[in-house]
Amino acid sequence: MSFVQIRRDLHKIPELGFQEYKTQSYLLEYLRSLPQERVQIRTWKTGIFVKIEGLNPRKTIGYRADMDGLPIVEETGLPFLSEHREQMHACGHDFHMSIALGLVTHFTHHAIADNLLFIFQPAEEGPGGAEPMLQSDIMKEWKPDQILALHIAPEYPVGSIAVKEGLLFANTSELFIDLKGKGGHAAYPHDTNDMVVAACSLVTQLQSIVARNVDPLDSAVVTIGKISGGTVQNIIAEKARIEGTIRTLSVQSMEKVKKRIQSMVKGIEVGYECETAIDFGSMYHQVYNEEKLTREFMNFVTQRTDVNVIECDKAMTGEDFGYMLKEIPGFMFWLGVDSEYGLHHAKLNPNEAAIEVAISMISKYIQYKGN
């Protein structure tokens, strides 16, 4: 079976975080079909660890692929459309898994000196699988000495990768704010505390944080993606909910933004005589590429493969692989897949030629590092 076909099989069965049961079963069936002489397979929740013993190990090289899909109705029209109507692999995790399987397959047939650890991680899109997986007993026993991962990039052509030393992806945090006042008839606003008005006022205030509280030489984003409140047009809303995301390029700015949000919400509570609650949800640590390993990887790819290396800028993207890089030296890079539509879009359609490009390039790099 080709790894393109594997990608298509996985594309049909996207599942949300920590619900990747079909995905895990599919991966395990394939992994157990490979030669098992030097292979150990262990499961963790809906994730999988695969260790391949080296011939003369001095270290362990880790590779991580994420597994979950997104709550998006697919609109690609592909013949291998998602069978789960309101879920889709709109971030390329089907690509990530098929590439990882290609690497596992290669190294079960081509032994190298060092140990390898392949990590199939659930819940990257939320609520976050990397941090608890990192703390698992299996990871403590098999913890690699260095680690790498990739993420598909629709904006770059097939045959290219984009990477940089140092900060690659931002710190991120979810944001949920609930407001509760007093509802009532639209004709008697003086007897109510309107939470639609309170929510709109708060959203406007939140937009001042980046402009007036964050160092202009730093970067931050506060985006409100959803507001809900009220029932019908002639009833003043008793409750409202704001949902959004915070992204910063420094841990210090994340702390400052959160403090300002808390202050503003307290002001809304007093000014609109209402109750409030803030939930910062899942937070992802920045993706920081270890300089020496990243530069070595960039030089290797430039000199030893046909892949074009692009030195990119940092992005406000969030990735919980940052937790692994906080504990283990390593790096993440963008893999060009040349799609008209971007990440998290219902019509994302990456070029499948990138799968074999990645398998070939990464297997050569790991062989170089592990012998």
The catalytic residues are: 66, 125
Burial class (CB in 10 A: 0-12, 13-18, 19+), 284: buried
What confidence score (pLDDT) does residue 282 get? 86
- Chain-wide mean pLDDT for the chain? 97
Distance, CA of 241 to CA of 289 (rounded, Å) = 36
| Spacing of C-alpha 254 from chain mean position | 18
H or E element in which residue 291 lies: helix 291-304
Is 0.85 topped by the overall pTM? yes
In this prediction, residues 337-353 reach a mean pLDDT of 98
CATH of domain 171-283: 3.30.70.360
Which amino acid is present at 236? Answer: I
pLDDT score at 54? 98
pLDDT attached to residue 1: 79
- What is the distance between the alpha carbons of residues 126 and 57, in angstroms, rounded to a whole number? 35
User: Which residues are CB-neighbours of 183 under 8 A, at least 6 positions away?
Assistant: 192, 195, 235, 236, 237, 238, 239
pLDDT at 79: 97
User: How far from chain centre, in Å, is Cα 304?
Assistant: 29
Instruction: Look up residue 313 and give its two tokens.
Output: 């800028």
Across the range 290-317, mean pLDDT stands at 97
Angle (CA) 68 74 75, round 5°: 155
* Contact indicator for 75, 344 with CB cutoff of 8 Å: no
Torsion, CA 224, CA 226, CA 230, CA 233, rounded to 10: 100
Report the C-alpha gap between 96 and 3 in whole angstroms: 11
In contact, 296 and 304? CB cutoff 8 Å: no
Per DSSP, what are the bridge partners of residue 351?
Answer: none
**Exposed/middle/buried for residue 329 (C-beta within 10 Å: 0-12, 13-18, 19+):** middle
> What percent of the chain has pLDDT above 70?
100
Provide the pLDDT for residue 142: 98
Q: What is the pLDDT of residue 240?
A: 98
The two tokens of residue 339 are 């799609």
The full DSSP string for 77-144 is --TT--SSTT-B--SSHHHHHHHHHHHHHHHHHS--SSEEEEEEE--TTTT-SHHHHHTSHHHHHH--
Question: Of 208, 217, 171, 157, which Cα lies nearest the Cα of 325?
Answer: 171
What's the CATH number of domain 3-167+286-370, 3.40.630.10, 1.20.120.1200, 3.40.50.10800, 1.25.40.420? 3.40.630.10
Could you give the CA distance from residue 65 to residue 177 in angstroms, rounded to a whole number?
32
Residues of the chain with CATH 3.30.70.360: 171-283
Q: pLDDT tens for residues 12-59? A: 999 999 999 999 999 999 999 999 999 999 999 999 999 999 999 999
For 265-288, what is each residue's pLDDT tens digit? 999 999 999 999 999 998 999 999
Q: Where in the chain is the domain with CATH 3.40.630.10?
A: 3-167+286-370
CA 146, distance to chain mean position in Å, is 20
Q: Give the model's confidence band at 367: pLDDT under 50 very low, under 70 low, under 90 confident, else very high.
A: very high
- In which band, very low, low, confident or very high, does the pLDDT at 159 lie, cut at 50, 70 and 90? very high
Q: Quick one: average pLDDT of 243-263?
A: 96
